[in-house]
A and B are shown apart, each in its own frame.
Chain A
Amino acid sequence: MKRLCAWMLALLMVLPMTAYAAEDADTAHKIGVIFYGKDDALGQCVYEEVNHAAEVVGIEVEWALGDYDTESQLTSVENLISAGCEGIMFMPIEDASAQKVGQACEESGIYFAICFRDILDSGIKSYVESCEYYVGSCWEDDKGAAGDLVSVLAEDGRSVFGLEKMNPSIALAVRNDGFAEGAEAAGAEIVAEYEVPNDGNSQTHINGVTNFLNLYPDMDGILMTTSSQGAAEAIVNTVKQNSEVGKVKLAMFDLYEGIADDFAAGWVAAAAAGNSPDALFVFLALVNAVDGTPLSDSFINLSQKEVIVTSAEECADYEKYIDNPEYQIYSDEMIQNLVGRYNPDVTLEDYTEIMEAFSLDWVKENSAQ
């Protein structure tokens, strides 16, 4: 039995190698994308918009989904390069991943670009920015968004906060700093915190928030660096069961299922919605580089404003126009205009202009559909 299993395992490991061995000279340029997944709305949106854009500009895309640590992202980039990808777009799970994946691409002469993240570690940032094949990055202004979320609570007269904190070692930890700075600027105080569990265990959230409410009766706001992996539901439900409407309000990153009802009921004050267009612009910039029509001689840094929703109606608009994988924010013409092979006059300023214009209202007015 053991021998049979060993043979099967060996076979399973060998078979995928043959899939990557074949080369077809006639295929279009191929770009690999390493992303955390498409289980949630953000992931689905990214998946759809990148695939749509690729189809519109005549590029083949190869996906590597489900990597949650540096080692698996490194494995994925090696596999994608072996599969013939000429460019890699990825969302590094941590700074070390940015370095390792970047290094793998650089050594293989493959263009690479980063979406959704900035690199915090100065040493790693220097290295990546010195790479010849580094196209650039686009990230959301998490720090600014955190400050905006605190402002919403502060404008509501709230000043005593608990913090659901991100692990300081990962890229999203910039949200912790954003909340801290935002609270200071608003004259508010973060009196207690707990860390988001790695194992996604909702008991940690339940216990953390219960302790907030019991130990700090004056607490009137909870700042959440993430709503994913059931965090939002656990926190909101705990607050609902242990407090009264209006006493403690929540401000969070990312939306969750049911948030519109909670907005309407008064449990949630504001949410920074995840913005999918990051990936689209980085992807198109990478296409330009692979096509030999780069937007700049050096790397580029694009910044994406985050949409802050503060009501059930805004939630509905966001869900209809932005957080909807079936809805393409940008028309085919807009997409092609950002790529050299269709618009030889495209510049970096075109990107900046369209990104700065991005907002919920703009999307409603310029709806592609």
Chain B
Amino acid sequence: MQAAKKYVKNYIVMFLVTAAMIALLMFFAPATRSFTTLLSLLKQGIAPAILGWGVLFNIKAGNWDFGVGAEVLIAAIIGGNIAKMLGMGIAGVIVCCMVVGFAAGTVSGILYRLLRIPTIIISIAIMLIYESICGIVFGGKGVSLDLSYLVLSHFPGNVLMWIAGFLIAYILFFKTRIGYNIKAVGSNIKIAEDNGINVKRTKALALSIAGLFAGLYAAVNVGSSGAVRTVSAMGTMGTCFNAMMCVFIGLSIVGGGNIFIAIYFGAVVMQMIQMALMVFGIPTQYSQVVVAIFVIAFMLFSTNAPEIRENIRRKRHGGSFPHLAQ
């Protein structure tokens, strides 16, 4: 009973927030009132959540990695083409994309350790390099897969990918030393180092893990859409930022629950916002503004939650209303 109570307490925030937002959408937009819409939202949240899980490792390790979008691109194009050439089917696409994605992330990590410059700079260079490579390999044509490969956009393919991604993320973060080391390094480098943790190696591994998830996301992408084309001029940064938004929302609603589930809900919330924009006919020019406002609102809430709780506690104890900081 205690365990059940604790479970509810830990997950109540993320469930309530997500459910409340969906309920609000359905209330104000009759067109969305259907089980199909709900299912659609849950489905649409899968792919961005997968990438968000990988981005979390970087954020927790204190890495700024803007190359993750380019890693998705290169994993899809090279991994997808190799699998197609070898006739490996969708399983081959998944494996090849993950291998290429992991390798792409590992190159970032190696460069970081070798060159000893901040991850943000490495990631921007990597982004430009990978985008260029994608414009060269396979004639610069990207990758195209026929309908027989497109099984990851619907059940059971999408659910299996969610489960696979979740298990990998969960095990790496909670069940391996690297997960603990990443948390330690991201929280306090000095103390982590003083306790024998190899900081550079840990941050490099976080980059590799993000690349692995970039590969998984690439597989879902190409296994849903059937085609991925080249992008240049740092166009892949958009992919990276979208994933970060899911993570930020997830971090703000996680409460005591599992962060990966929270990120998934964060992804669902992001898709819900996009759906709301469409349904309410808000011009697409404003979509980025709206998304940014939502993310700021979530971050505002989570950053100030301790102070809000403190003020409520103080008021309950008969204290004065809090003064505004001068």
Query: In the complex, A touching B, CB below 8 Å?
Result: yes
Q: How far is the CA of A69 from the CA of B235 in the complex (A)?
A: 11
How many residues on chain B are close to A (CB under 8 Å)?
A: 53
Are B47 and A194 interface neighbours, CB within 8 A?
no
How many Å from the CB of A67 to the closest CB on chain B? Answer: 8
What chain B residues lie within 8 Å of A194 (beta carbons)? Answer: 274, 278, 284
Q: How far is the CA of A68 from the CA of B144 in the complex (A)?
A: 23
Are B225 and A238 interface neighbours, CB within 8 A?
yes
Our pick among A39, A197, A257 for the contact of B230 (Cβ within 8 Å) is A39
Given contacts A203-B48, A206-B224, A237-B225, contact A211 B231 (CB under 8 A): no
Q: Is B275 an interface residue (CB 8 A)?
A: yes
What chain A residues lie within 8 Å of B261 (beta carbons)? Answer: none
Which A residue's beta carbon lies closest to that of B48?
A203
Our pick among B40, B147, B284 for the contact of A237 (Cβ within 8 Å) is B147
Are A193 and B227 interface neighbours, CB within 8 A?
no
Are A211 and B278 interface neighbours, CB within 8 A?
yes
How many Å from the CB of A225 to the closest CB on chain B? Answer: 12
Q: Is B81 an interface residue (CB 8 A)?
A: no
Q: How far is the CA of A236 from the CA of B226 in the complex (A)?
A: 9
What chain B residues lie within 8 Å of A168 (beta carbons)? Answer: 285
What chain B residues lie within 8 Å of A229 (beta carbons)? Answer: 229-231
Given contacts A68-B235, A194-B278, A230-B227, contact A203 B115 (CB under 8 A): no
A-B contact count (CB 8 A): 130
Task: Determine, out of B184-192, B236-244, B302-310, B314-322, the stretch whose residues face the partner at the interface.
Answer: B236-244
Q: Is B36 an interface residue (CB 8 A)?
A: yes
What chain B residues lie within 8 Å of A199 (beta carbons)? Answer: 69, 231, 235-239
Are A198 and B238 interface neighbours, CB within 8 A?
yes
What chain A residues lie within 8 Å of B139 (beta carbons)? Answer: 39
Q: How far is the CA of A238 from the CA of B153 in the complex (A)?
A: 8
Name, among A192, A230, A237, the residue most crowded by chain B CB atoms within 10 Å (CB to CB).
A230
Are A211 and B274 interface neighbours, CB within 8 A?
yes
Are A215 and B275 interface neighbours, CB within 8 A?
yes
Which A residue's beta carbon lies closest to that of B271?
A207
Name, among B144, B233, B237, the residue most crowded by chain A CB atoms within 10 Å (CB to CB).
B233
Q: Is A243 an interface residue (CB 8 A)?
A: no
Q: How far is the CA of A240 from the CA of B48 in the complex (A)?
A: 22
Q: Is A165 an interface residue (CB 8 A)?
A: yes
What chain A residues lie within 8 Å of B44 (beta carbons)? Answer: 206-207, 210
Q: How far is the CA of A214 from the CA of B237 in the complex (A)?
A: 29
How many Å from the CB of A99 to the closest CB on chain B? Answer: 19
Q: How far is the CA of A358 from the CA of B34 in the complex (A)?
A: 50
How many Å from the CB of A21 to the closest CB on chain B? Answer: 26
What chain A residues lie within 8 Å of B198 (beta carbons)? Answer: none
What chain A residues lie within 8 Å of B236 (beta carbons)? Answer: 199-200
Q: What mask results when residues 19 to 31 of chain B are scored 1 for a CB within 8 Å of chain A, else 0? A: 0000000000001
Which A residue's beta carbon lies closest to that of B224?
A206
Q: Is B118 an interface residue (CB 8 A)?
A: no
How many Å from the CB of A32 to the closest CB on chain B? Answer: 20
How many Å from the CB of A81 to the closest CB on chain B? Answer: 22
Q: How far is the CA of A196 from the CA of B235 in the complex (A)?
A: 12
Are B144 and A257 interface neighbours, CB within 8 A?
yes
How many Å from the CB of A256 to the closest CB on chain B? Answer: 8
Which A residue's beta carbon lies closest to that of B238?
A199
Q: What mask results when residues 64 to 81 of chain A are scored 1 for a CB within 8 Å of chain B, else 0? A: 001111001000000000
Residues of A that sit less than 8 Å from B by CB: 1-2, 5, 37, 39, 66-69, 72, 165, 168, 192-195, 197-203, 205-208, 210-211, 214-216, 228-230, 232-234, 236-238, 240-241, 257-258
The 9 closest A-B pairs by CB, nearest first: A199-B238, A233-B227, A202-B225, A234-B225, A195-B284, A230-B227, A68-B233, A39-B140, A200-B231
Listed by A's residue number, 24 A-B pairs whose Cβ atoms lie within 8 Å are A1-B114, A2-B116, A2-B117, A39-B230, A68-B233, A192-B279, A199-B231, A199-B235, A200-B231, A200-B236, A203-B47, A208-B278, A214-B34, A215-B31, A215-B32, A215-B275, A215-B279, A216-B31, A230-B228, A234-B227, A237-B147, A237-B153, A241-B154, A257-B144
